[in-house]
Amino acid sequence: MAKFEQEAKDLLQAVGGKENIAAVSHCATRLRFVLNDETKADKKKIESISAVKGIFTNAGQFQVIIGNEVPTFYNDFVAVSGIEGVSKEAAKIAAKKNQNLLQRLVGVLAEIFTPILPAIIVGGLILGFRNILEAVPMSFLDGQTIVDVSSFWAAVNRFLWLPGEAIFHFLPVAVTWSITRRMGGTQILGIVLGITLVSPQLMNAYGVNSASASDIAAYTIDFGFAELFLRGYQAQVIPAMLAGFTLVYLERFFRKYTPEALSMILVPFFSLLPAIIIAHAVLGPIGWWISEGVSTVVNAGLTSSVSWLFAILFGALYAPLVITGLHHTTLAIDFALIGGALQSTNLWPMIALSNIAQGAAVVGIIIANRGNKKEEQVSVPAAISAWLGVTEPAMFGINLKYMFPFVAAMIGSASAALVVTLFGVRANAVGVGGLPGILAIRGQDMGIFALAMLIAIVVPIMLTLFFHKSGKFGKAEEQVPELESGNEVATTISKTVEISAVLNGKVFPLTEAKDPAFASGTMGVGVIYDEIDGELFAPFDGTVATLFPTKHAIGIVSDEGVEVLVHIGIDTVNLQGEHFEALVQQGEKVKRGDKLVKFDVKAIKEAGYLIQTPVIITNSADYQVDVPSEGNQVKIGEVLMTATKI
C-alpha cells in the first residue's frame, strides 16, 4: 500500500470526486486543484485528513497544503484518482474558467500593483516623515514646525523630496513598466512610454486645475488641423494603465504580422510611437476625466450628510475586500484623490485603521490563550505584521480561522472609520498602513487619527475576549488548540537542536513572505531570507527527505527529527529547474554545512521571480522554536533558529 493511498482516497472523495476536478498540480508545499464546482468540496472533511495542514482558495484555485511530502502525496493521489496532472501554469489557465470578468480584472490589477508596492510603501514613509518635519506645528517650538527652526532638518526635508518625487510623481513609469512585464510586452518600451507621461516638457499635473489660459496656451502644440494640450500625468494611475495596455496590444498586433527579420526594428517603432500619440491625444484626457470623476464621487460620499454610513460600510467591509482581492482597486482611487484639487485622500486613513483592527483582534486571541505556546508562534508575528500594515497572516492565519476575531475587527474598524470621517481626517500619502499610518496623516488631523487608532485597538480586543468567552460567532472551547494537560501546562523539555544558517543573507520574519501560505504560518514556523547569494548549505546533520525535480525546494530531516523546508524564491517552480543545480540526491545523508544547491540569483531575478527564500520548520507544532536571527545579516555556520522538543 502506498504511503498516502488512504489519505489520497479520502481527499478525492472530499473534493467531490474525479468528475469535479478540472485540473490538479502541485508546487513545493501544496496541491493546487481547479474544481468544477467548489461548493462540492467538504472543507471540514479535508481539514480532518491527517496529512492536510490547511486549505485556502486563491486565484480560482482550491489549494490544499500538505508540506514537505507533497510530491509523494501528489503521486499517490494521481494513482488512486486516475487523473493526469498538469503543470502549474496550465492549472492557472484552467483556474480562470472559475473566475468571472470582475475577478479576472481584479487579478490583473493585483499583478500590476504588487511589484511596485515596495516603492509605494517606501514613498509613503518618506512623505510621512516629511509631513512631520514641515506640516506639524510643535508646541515645544512655540507652534512652529521643525523645518522653521532647524536648517539641518530643512535640508533633510528638501533632500527627501528626491526619492519622494521619484516614487509618486513618476508613478506612471512604474505602472506602464509593470503592465508590460505582466502582459509579456517589451519592458523598456513601457518605461519609455511612462516617461513621456511625466516629461518636464508637459505641464505638471498638479498645476493643471489652477492654470490660466496663457499657461495652457504655452503648453499647447498647434498642428494646423488640430491642437494638443501637453498635459502631464504625474501620480496619475488610470491614464498610465490605459496607455500601458494600449502599448501591449499594439506590440502583440505588429509582432504577429511583421516578418521576423524586420521585427526588431519595426515592432518597437510602430508600437511605441502610436501608443504615445494615442496616450496624449485620447486616452490620457479620458483617464484624467475618469480619475477626476472617481475622486469627486468618493470625496462627495465621504463629506455628504450620509458620510457616516459610507464610513461604517467601508470600515467594516475593507477586510472582506482583502479576501476577494478587490482592495487593490482602492489604490487607484487613493491616487485619484491625491492627484485632485485637495491633493489628499480621506480613504487611506480608514484602510490604515482596518489594518490596526485586524492586528488588535489577534492580540485578543493572544490574551485569551495566554501560555499556549503553539498559538503564540503564529499569532504574535501575525499581530505585529498587521500593525505594520500587512494583514494577510492575521486574517488568514488567525481571524478567519476562528471567525469571531474577524467579526470583532470589522466592528472595531467601522467604529474607527466613523470617527475619522466625521472629523474629516485626510492623508497626504498612501502606502503606509497599520500603526505607522499616522505618518501619512495631515498635521492638523493627527490628534483625531490617534484617537481613532486607540478605538481600532481597544474595541477589537474587548470584543474578541467577549466573543471568546460567550461563544458568539463560534464555540469558544473549540477555537484554539491548547497545550495543557489538566491544569498544568506541558513543559517537557528535550535536547535543543540548532538550525544553522543555510544561506548568506538578510533574515526577516516569516510574516513578510509574499506567499500567504508561508506568511500565515500554516506551513510552520521559520524565517524569510532576502539579499542572498547563490549557494544553499545544510542546516544540520540529517537526511535529504525531499528534493524537487525542479531543484528549487529541498526538505531536510535532522537526526533528531526536526523537519526543515527551504523554498528558493517565490513561484520559481515555473523555471522547471533552469538556473538551479542540485549537489545532493534525495535520501542522501548530509552534514551541517554541506553544500546542497547552487543557483543563479541574477538570472532568477531577470526571469521575473522574487528571490525571497522561506526556511521553515514544518513540524514546528512539536517544538518550541526560537529565532534569534530576525532582522540580522547572517552567515553560514551562524545560528539561524533553535528547536526544542515540547
Beta-strand (E) ranges in 49-138?
Answer: 54-58, 61-65
- Which amino acid appears at position 151 of this protein? S
Backbone angles phi, psi at 355, to 5 degrees: -60, -45
Backbone angles phi, psi at 359, to 5 degrees: -65, -40
DSSP state of 279: I
3-state secondary structure of 191: helix
- Residue 574's CB is within 10 A of a number of other CB atoms, namely 17
How is residue 372 written as a grid cell?
A: 499556549
- Which amino acid appears at position 376 of this protein? E
Q: Length of the chain, please?
A: 646
d(CA 637, CA 434): 36
Beta-strand (E) ranges in 311-464?
Answer: none
d(CA 413, CA 316): 6
How is residue 406 written as a grid cell?
A: 474577524
Which residues sit opposite 633 in a β-bridge?
A: 506
Catalytic residue of the set 11, 15, 21, 27:
27
113 touches 331 (CB < 8 A)? yes
- Which amino acid appears at position 417 of this protein? A
253 Cβ contact list (under 8 Å, min separation 6): none
3-state secondary structure of 438: helix
126 touches 160 (CB < 8 A)? yes
Kindly give the residue spans of alpha helices, DSSP state H, lying in 480-627: 516-519, 601-606
Which residues sit opposite 484 in a β-bridge?
A: 489
How is residue 363 written as a grid cell?
A: 492580540
Backbone angles phi, psi at 580, to 5 degrees: -120, 145
Closest among 630, 554, 558, 638 to 597, alpha carbons compared: 554
In order of 442, 624, 644, the CA distances from 376 in angstroms are 36, 10, 15
67 touches 55 (CB < 8 A)? no
How is residue 452 written as a grid cell?
A: 481613532
How is residue 383 written as a grid cell?
A: 499581530
3-state secondary structure of 313: helix
CA distance between the termini of the chain? 32
Active site residue 89: no
d(CA 187, CA 171): 15
Could you list the active site residues? 27
